């Protein structure tokens, strides 16, 4: 955890030394791309305020596990289901009114699936702490349009649940 904490402080300190104390790590489970399950890990840092709204940027990397049906094995009638991992990346601008990082947030969201498809839309969620400590939780939804190959276009809803750690 020390290396991760050092990297988080260094990333936030490049924006502003005062912001380094408000970096948050986000990790959890979620769905994306027509409700495909996956895991996510992200890092956010506040970047300022505009008209009473707190702004933070969050970058997230994830892995979706897509079940693919394989060809039948020789001598069998049915194929197997093979898990196929897809790497995703997201960038969100999180807007909120509460300076503590607790409460409702929302904002624009952009993402990619292995650089082959792009997702543009919005995120909205709620985050809180477990007591007065540094650990917390979040629940959020995303609704984004997909721009990609002809067979991968449409609207992509997503639901994400997980834990946060505030440095």
Cα–chain-centroid distance for residue 129?
18
* Residue, of 85 and 120, whose pLDDT is higher: 120
Point out the least confidently predicted range of 2-16, 75-89, 104-118.
2-16
Flag whether pLDDT at 122 surpasses 70: yes
Residue 8 clears pLDDT 60, i.e. is over it: no
Sign (positive/negative) of CA torsion 151, 153, 159, 163?
positive
Give 19's pLDDT tier (boundaries 50, 70, 90). Answer: very low
pLDDT at 36: 83
The better pLDDT of the pair 5, 61 is held by: 61
More confident residue, 103 or 18: 103
* Residue 73: per-residue pLDDT: 55
DSSP track, 67-136: EEEEEEPTT-SSEEEEEEEEEEEEEEEEEES-TTS-EEEEEEEEEEETTTEEEEEEEEEEEEESTTSSEE
What Rg, from alpha-carbon coordinates, does the chain have?
18
Cβ count near 56 (within 10 Å): 21
CA 15/CA 43 separation, integer angstroms: 14
The strand pairing partners of 32, in sequence order, are: 36
CA distances from 44 to 34, 158, 163 (A): 25, 19, 13
Structure tokens given for 124: 């909205």
Distance (Å, rounded) from C-alpha 89 to C-alpha 70?
Answer: 27
Best-predicted range by mean pLDDT (32-36, 72-76, 115-119, 139-143) = 139-143
What does the CA dihedral 151, 67, 121, 154 come to, rounded to 10 degrees?
Answer: 30
The C-alpha atoms of residue 167 and residue 44 are separated, in whole angstroms, by 11
Handedness of CA 32, 33, 36, 41 (dihedral sign): negative
pTM assigned to the model:
0.78
Of the two residues 35 and 111, the one the predictor is more confident about is: 111
Per-residue model confidence as pLDDT tens digits over 30-85:
988 767 889 999 999 999 998 889 999 999 999 988 777 666 556 555 556 667 78
């Amino acid at each position: 955890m020390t290396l991760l904490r050092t990297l988080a402080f260094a990333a936030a300190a490049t924006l502003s030394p005062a912001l380094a104390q408000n970096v948050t790590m986000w990790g959890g489970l979620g769905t994306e791309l027509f409700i495909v399950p996956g895991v996510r890990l992200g890092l956010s840092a506040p970047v300022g305020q505009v008209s009473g709204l707190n702004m933070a940027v969050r970058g997230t990397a994830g892995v979706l596990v897509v079940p693919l049906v394989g060809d039948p094995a020789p001598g069998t009638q049915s194929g197997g289901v093979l898990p196929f991992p897809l790497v995703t990346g997201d960038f969100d601008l999180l807007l909120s009114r509460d300076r503590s990082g607790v409460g409702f947030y929302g904002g624009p969201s952009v993402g990619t699936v292995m650089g082959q498809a792009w997702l543009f839309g919005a995120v909205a969620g709620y985050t809180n702490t477990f007591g007065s400590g540094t650990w917390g939780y979040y629940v959020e939804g995303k609704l984004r349009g997909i721009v990609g190959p002809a067979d991968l276009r449409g609207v992509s809803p997503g639901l994400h649940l997980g834990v946060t750690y505030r440095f």
